């Protein structure tokens, strides 16, 4: 049994197997011991023959300590290696009892403990957070009838249709095996070679080139279960379902140039954001939405509901919101919880079932297999983060690190030792698979109903605002410009011709590719008369306030107390946060002599780390900062990234030094002449960006 450490500076304490308490060295401080419980006299010096002599083999304490250290690493996840997790709960707000008998969906108001791990896919464990990539959104729900994992992404579709292609896809996306680069990037030949040879990837690649792949933080992204699953009601009837997580704070992404710079300025940008939000009590929250439909709908829908490269527009099947997921507690220990958490798509509970989506069926093998490799054996479910919180009972035994071996004589069933009647146990509430009819010849064949690879890519495109379309086009140009093989670039453009002729031409133009490649051979023509789905746009689903966002305020010694306070109050009032950026982090005072602590020094807190910025230097401070290159970058970047910039009079010379001449001042560069302007400025920042500016600052 573990007890909380006396203080975070001390090693954890464990009561003895027999519950014995600790020896103390006086006061409350426990004596340090070996793993065997032997008190340690000196943890700083090895046992040596004489003060300057050789170290002795018999030093069991040294050997145990180093041996354990040598074994600290476990294999990182083969994909989604970099991740960050938090605890929370799911609360039911609308009973689903009408269509599902899963215990978690029965009682409105009831809370179910949850653990969520967000991740990037391609990068190694130590890679940066704001790379262009899909984000994993894996949710473990510790229900009263067992653990249910919804192992989803922030994109509702996938690159491939059949799990057998997954190793190829992942190999192509990750570093090339001969050179081991690039790290956490899709902008390389192998990735584009593979996807351009796999037309089924076209839809998801559109999403990956959109700003969905560079979220502002985990808190502002959607999650999707991707596959069609089944809900089973108390009578055993099935309803198809797709799961959605909708962020309460709305959707938000960063821009690509910002992403590149954040990776340098703060590679932990997304982790830090989640940590800061949760530890400051701003608990991130999502609503669980379900799209429910039946066989009649599935038959009439122009795409196969079992094809994971297709979505069902919300405008076609509306989302019913049935609960909320709140993350309110960081882990005590990253390794024990976030690293060791083992999500498995096959972890479902009574009332939920799979469908014949061939990607899902393959995943159901892969996750269990990978956890066994990663966590060293079949008993990874004994690790507290993976163990159910409801009672569990079975006769599985032994294996590495077995913690739950059966007590007594019976370890098989049927037996007459633990069962009065002697027969095998049965439970009316036990998991029962939906008895779907199955027929057909055994064969390796992709269903013809999976053959339309372009229509939904086009649907995605026509659902974007012009700003988002520009970002998508630019992302293709950026990525394909990093591809060294011209034929791969051309092949990719040949697919885009089915998605949108303007997009294909724009990308070809950006690559200097001429003539325009012929359209790729399409197995199916693009469906006519597609209706845009506004739900697929980020900008149409953004926030309408600065809540949950961060304002960076540049201050210098003697900063005006009233203006600073007014800004801070305005941001705090709507649940945002403020960081101060200054020439030095310490030794600052405001105009009334109050000491101030800045969170960043000017060269460590570039504007890319903030959603909006304000410049409040004193005249003297501005005179010094105008010569500071990082100050100029701060302003020039904020402007180029279409952010709102508030400034006092003294900051005029800083704006000028950054090249922001009066004719370039637009409605996003806002004078803060008095405290009265603070509220208005923060309200304006709620729009997050002045997109109209973006077109003016990019000329190629
Ligand atoms: Fe996967 C991890 C999501 C297809 C095989 N996957 C993993 C994680 C997420 C997803 C979020 C990280 C879980 C965590 O935080 O620990 N994967 C998806 C989604 C997919 C998908 C949404 C398509 C709809 N995955 C997929 C396929 C396969 C895998 C087709 C194999 C056939 N995925 C794995 C894995 C991983 C994994 C190798 C690596 C680490 C792990 O499982 O725990 O088993």
Q: Please check whether residue 554 is in contact with residue 612, taking contact to mean a CB–CB distance below 8 angstroms.
A: no
Can you name the residues that pair with 549 across neighbouring β-strands? none
Counting ligand 1 atoms within 8 A of each CB, the residue from 343, 360, 365, 369 with the most, and so the one to mutate, is 343
As a whole number of angstroms, the distance between CA 183 and CA 102 comes to 42
Burial of 57 (C-beta count, 10 Å sphere; 0-12/13-18/19+): exposed
How remote is the C-alpha of 244 from its chain's centroid? Answer: 14
- Give CA–CA dist 552/558, Å, rounded: 17
- pLDDT for 1 beyond 80: no
- Secondary structure E strands in 422-538: none
405: DSSP letter: P
ipTM above 0.85, yes or no: yes
**Closest alpha carbon to 161 in 202, 210, 132:** 202
Measured in angstroms, how far is the CA atom of residue 106 from the centroid of ligand 1? Answer: 29
Instruction: Tokens for 686, please give them.
Output: 């709620």
Residue 678 has pLDDT above 60, yes or no: yes
Q: Is there a contact between 362 and 237 (Cβ–Cβ < 8 Å)?
A: no
Q: Are 633 and 665 in contact (CB under 8 A)?
A: no
Closest CA to 683 of 571, 566, 607: 571
Confidence band of 2 (pLDDT split at 50, 70, 90): very low
Give the phi and the psi of residue 656 in degrees, each rounded to 5: -65, -40
Where residue 262 falls (left for φ over 0; alpha for ψ -120 to 50; beta otherwise) is alpha
> Taking a C-beta distance cutoff of 8 angstroms, is the pair 68, 60 a contact?
no
Cα–Cα distance, 225 to 218 (Å, whole number): 16
Q: Considering the entire predicted model, what is its pTM?
A: 0.96
| Å from CA of 80 to ligand 1 middle | 7
DSSP characters for 46-78?
--BSSTTSPBPTT-HHHHHHHHHHHT---PPPS
CATH number of 544-697: 3.40.50.880
Q: Please give the DSSP secondary-structure letter assigned to residue 212.
A: G
**On the CB side of 252, how many CA atoms lie within 13 Å of its CA?**
23
Over range 353-382, report the average pLDDT: 97
CA nearest to 227, candidates 345, 118, 318: 345
Any idea what the Cα angle at residue 138 is, between residues 132 and 143, rounded to 5°?
170
pLDDT at residue 5 in the model: 39
Q: Is the CB of 117 under 6 A from ligand 1?
A: yes
Residue 343 Cα to ligand 1 middle (Å) = 8
Q: Which of 22, 61, 80, 244 is catalytic?
A: 80
Report the C-alpha gap between 210 and 235 in whole angstroms: 43
In which band, very low, low, confident or very high, does the pLDDT at 104 lie, cut at 50, 70 and 90? Answer: very high
Confidence of residue 178 (pLDDT cuts 50, 70, 90): very high
Q: How far apart are CA 586 and CA 331, in angstroms?
A: 31
Catalytic residue among 61, 87, 101, 153: 153
What is the average per-residue pLDDT within 583-597? 97
pLDDT tens-digit map of 487-532? 999 999 999 999 999 999 999 999 999 999 999 999 999 999 999 9
101: nearest Cα among 292, 240, 288, 231: 231
For ligand 1, atom 42, name the residue with the nearest CA. Answer: 367
Q: CATH 1.20.120.1200: does it fit domain 452-539? A: no
400 is catalytic: no
Residue 119 alpha carbon, nearest atom of ligand 1: 15
Give the right CATH number for 83-382 from 3.40.50.880, 2.40.180.10, 3.30.1520.10, 3.90.180.10. Answer: 2.40.180.10
Annotated binding site: 77, 117, 166, 363, 367, 374
Whether residue 147 has a cis bond before it, omega within 30° of 0: no
Provide φ and ψ at 298, rounded to 5°.
-55, -40
| Residue nearest ligand 1's atom 12 by CA | 80
Q: At what angle do helices 676-685 and 561-573 cross, to 10 degrees?
A: 40
- Please report which helix (H) or strand (E) contains residue 256, including its range: helix 256-265
In whole angstroms, give the CA distance from residue 693 to residue 664.
Answer: 9
Whether residue 362 has its Cβ less than 6 Å from ligand 1: yes
**Which positions ≥6 away from 205 have C-beta within 8 Å?**
159, 195, 457
Q: Tell me: the pLDDT tens digits for 241-261? A: 999 999 999 999 999 999 999
Return the beta strands (E) in 170-225 as ranges: 223-224
CB of 138 shorter than 6 A to ligand 1 = yes
* Cα distance between residue 39 and residue 60, in whole Å: 12
Report pLDDT for 3: 39
Average pLDDT for the chain: 95
Q: What's the confidence (pLDDT) of residue 7? A: 45
CB 30 within 8 A of CB 6: yes
Give me 690's structure tokens.
């002045």
Binding site per annotation, positions for heme: 77, 117, 166, 363, 367, 374
Q: Is the pLDDT of residue 6 over 70?
A: no
Q: What's CA 215's distance to the chain center, in Å?
A: 8
Percent of the chain having pLDDT more than 70? 96
SS3 239: strand
Contact, 131 vs 120, CB < 8 A?
yes
343 lines ligand 1 (CB under 6 A): yes
Q: Where are the alpha helices (DSSP H) in 342-442?
A: 358-375
Q: Domains of the chain: which residue ranges?
A: 83-382, 452-539, 544-697
Distance 138 CA to ligand 1 centre (A): 9
Asked if 272 contacts 470 with a C-beta cutoff of 8 angstroms, the reply is no
Does ligand 1 have an atom closer than 6 angstroms to the CB of 152? yes
Residue 362 Cα: closest atom of ligand 1: 32
Q: Residue 328 CA to chain centroid, in angstroms?
A: 16
Could you give phi then psi for residue 69, rounded to 5 degrees? -60, -45
Active site (annotated) includes residue 415: no
Decide: 143 and 390 in contact? Cβ < 8 Å.
yes
- Residue 683 sits at φ, ψ, to 5 deg, of -60, -45
Cα of 118 from ligand 1 centre, angstroms: 12
Bridge partner list, 285: 326
Q: Which of 367, 369, 374 gets mutated to test ligand 1 (max ligand atoms within 8 A of its CB)?
A: 367
pLDDT bucket at 421, cuts 50 / 70 / 90:
low
pLDDT of 24 above 90: no
The count of other CB atoms within 10 Å of the CB of residue 572 is 12
**Alpha-carbon radius of gyration of the chain:** 29
State the Cα–Cα distance between residues 416 and 418, nearest whole angstrom.
6
For residue range 307-351, what is the model confidence (pLDDT) as tens digits? 999 999 999 999 999 999 999 999 999 999 999 999 999 999 999
| Whether the CB of 151 sits within 6 Å of ligand 1 | yes
Q: What's the 367 CA to ligand 1 centre distance in angstroms? A: 7
**Confidence at 697, pLDDT banded by 50, 70, 90:** confident
């Amino acid at each position: 049994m573990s007890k909380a450490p006396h203080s975070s500076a001390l090693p954890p304490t464990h009561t003895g197997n027999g519950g014995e308490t600790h020896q103390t060295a006086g006061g409350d401080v426990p004596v340090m011991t070996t793993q065997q419980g032997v008190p340690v006299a000196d943890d700083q010096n090895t046992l040596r023959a004489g003060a300057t002599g050789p170290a002795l083999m018999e030093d069991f304490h040294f050997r145990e300590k180093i041996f354990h250290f040598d074994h600290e690493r476990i294999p990182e996840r083969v994909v989604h290696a970099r991740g960050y997790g938090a605890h929370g709960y799911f609360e039911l707000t609308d009973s689903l009892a009408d269509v599902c008998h899963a215990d978690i969906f029965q009682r409105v108001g009831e809370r179910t403990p949850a653990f969520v791990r967000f991740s990037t896919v391609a990068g190694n464990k130590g890679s940066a957070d704001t790379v262009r990539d899909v984000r994993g959104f894996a949710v473990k729900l510790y229900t009263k009838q067992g653990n249910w994992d919804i192992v989803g992404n922030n994109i509702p579709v996938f690159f491939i249709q059949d799990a057998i292609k997954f190793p190829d896809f992942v190999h192509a996306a990750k570093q090339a095996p001969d050179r081991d680069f690039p790290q956490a990037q899709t902008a390389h030949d192998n990735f584009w070679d593979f996807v351009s040879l796999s037309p089924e990837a076209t839809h998801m690649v559109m999403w990956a080139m959109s700003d969905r792949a560079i979220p502002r933080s985990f808190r502002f992204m959607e999650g999707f279960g991707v596959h069609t699953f089944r809900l089973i009601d108390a009578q055993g009837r099935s309803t198809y379902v797709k799961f959605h997580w909708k962020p309460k704070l709305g959707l938000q992404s960063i821009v690509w140039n910002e992403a590149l710079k954040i990776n340098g300025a703060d590679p932990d940008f997304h982790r830090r954001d989640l940590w800061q939000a949760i530890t400051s009590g701003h608990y991130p929250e999502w609503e669980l939405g379900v799209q429910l439909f039946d066989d009649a709908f599935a038959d009439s829908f122009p795409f196969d509901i079992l094809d994971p490269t297709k979505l069902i527009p919300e405008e076609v099947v509306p989302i019913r919101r049935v609960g909320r997921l709140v993350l309110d507690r960081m882990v005590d220990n990253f390794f024990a919880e976030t690293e060791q958490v083992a999500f498995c798509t096959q972890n479902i509970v009574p009332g939920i079932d799979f469908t014949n989506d061939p990607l899902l069926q393959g995943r159901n093998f892969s996750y269990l297999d990978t956890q066994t490799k990663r966590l060293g054996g079949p008993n990874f479910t004994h690790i507290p983060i993976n163990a159910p919180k409801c009672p569990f009972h079975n006769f599985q035994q032994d294996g590495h690190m077995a913690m739950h071996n059966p007590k007594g004589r019976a370890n098989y069933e049927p037996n007459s030792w633990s069962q009065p009647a002697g027969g095998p146990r049965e439970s009316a509430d036990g998991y029962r698979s939906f008895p779907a009819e199955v027929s057909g010849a055994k064969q390796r064949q992709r269903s013809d109903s999976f053959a339309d690879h372009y229509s939904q890519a086009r649907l995605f495109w026509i659902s974007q605002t012009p700003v988002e379309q520009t970002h998508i086009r630019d992302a293709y140009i950026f990525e394909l410009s990093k591809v060294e093989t011209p034929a791969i670039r051309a092949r990719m453009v040949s697919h885009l011709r089915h998605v949108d002729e303007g997009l294909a031409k724009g990308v070809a133009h950006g690559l200097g590719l001429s003539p325009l490649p012929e359209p790729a051979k399409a197995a199916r023509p693009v469906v006519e008369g597609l209706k845009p789905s506004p739900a697929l746009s980020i900008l149409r689903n953004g926030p309408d306030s600065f809540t949950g966002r961060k304002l960076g305020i540049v201050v210098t010694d003697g900063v005006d107390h009233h203006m600073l306070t007014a800004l801070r109050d305005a941001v705090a009032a709507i649940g945002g946060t403020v960081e101060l950026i200054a020439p030095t982090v310490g030794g600052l005072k405001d105009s009334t002599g109050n000491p101030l602590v800045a969170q960043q020094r000017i060269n460590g807190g570039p504007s890319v780390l903030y959603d909006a910025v304000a410049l409040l230097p004193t005249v003297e401070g501005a005179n010094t900062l105008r010569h500071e290159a990082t100050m100029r970058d701060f302003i020039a970047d904020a402007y180029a990234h279409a952010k709102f910039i508030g400034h006092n009079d003294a900051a005029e010379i800083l704006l000028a030094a950054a090249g922001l001449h009066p004719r370039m001042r637009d409605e996003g560069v806002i004078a803060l002449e008095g405290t009265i302007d603070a509220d208005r400025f923060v309200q304006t920042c709620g729009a997050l960006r002045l997109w109209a500016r973006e077109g003016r600052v990019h000329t190629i």
